[in-house]
């Protein structure tokens, strides 16, 4: 009897003000809307054969609720752009740790080439990877990398 391979489920979370992409500070964040990023990521997910859930909230507690419910929803991996919460939210960090779900941190801009307060991330040291500075492509690279890593982990590599 052949073993059925479970389809990976990836949760993508986007923090505050990312709903304003395309309008807000295009020099830093580009002109691509979050809706376009979502559409492009869903198309890539379909090509990779994974299920993708894409969420955005301006509220820290809502993001934490998504992270906390992820294990019950059989989420295999998380892509997270905590946005401004990157630099301040121990609560998001704690939720990610408690979920025990591997995640990749993404940023549209290079946070290390910006103001000094943006150089510290509360989650990068617990992430399996961080991708920053490549605009919407950061999400594409994160999805490819996360899927590869999850497949490796499932094989025991």
Catalytic one of 66, 85, 107, 139: 107
**Cα separations (Å) of 49 from 8, 44, 157?**
8, 9, 20
Which residues on neighbouring strands pair with residue 98, listed in sequence order? none
Nearest to 145 by CA among 102, 96, 82, 94: 102
> Is 40 within the bounds of a domain?
no
pLDDT at residue 2 is higher than 50: no
> Is 61 within the bounds of a domain?
yes
- If one counts the domains in the chain, the total is 1
> Is 118 within the bounds of a domain?
yes
The question of whether 29 is a catalytic residue gets the answer yes
Instruction: Write the CATH number for 92.
Output: 3.40.50.9100
- At residue 110, the pLDDT reads 79
Q: Are 21 and 88 in contact (CB under 8 A)?
A: no
DSSP run (H or E) holding 36: helix 34-48
The question of whether 107 is a catalytic residue gets the answer yes
Listed range (41-45, 110-114, 115-119, 137-141) with the worst mean pLDDT: 115-119
Predicted TM-score (pTM) of the model is: 0.91
* % of the chain with per-residue pLDDT over 70: 87
Catalytic one of 29, 66, 85, 139: 29
> Is 97 within the bounds of a domain?
yes
């Amino acid at each position: 009897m052949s073993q059925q391979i479970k389809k990976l489920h990836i949760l993508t979370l986007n923090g505050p003000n990312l709903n304003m992409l395309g309008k807000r500070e295009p020099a830093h964040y580009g002109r691509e809307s979050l809706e376009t990023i979502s559409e492009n990521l869903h198309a890539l997910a379909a090509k990779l054969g994974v299920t993708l859930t894409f969420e955005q909230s301006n509220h820290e507690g809502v993001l934490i609720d998504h992270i906390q419910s992820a294990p019950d929803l059989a989420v295999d991996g998380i892509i997270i752009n905590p946005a401004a919460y990157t630099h301040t939210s121990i609560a998001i960090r704690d939720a990610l740790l408690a979920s025990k779900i591997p995640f990749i941190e993404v940023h549209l801009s290079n946070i290390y080439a910006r103001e000094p307060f943006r150089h510290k991330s509360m989650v990068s040291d617990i992430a399996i990877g961080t991708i920053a500075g490549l605009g919407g492509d950061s999400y594409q690279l994160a999805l490819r990398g996360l899927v590869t890593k999850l497949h490796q982990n499932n094989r025991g590599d």
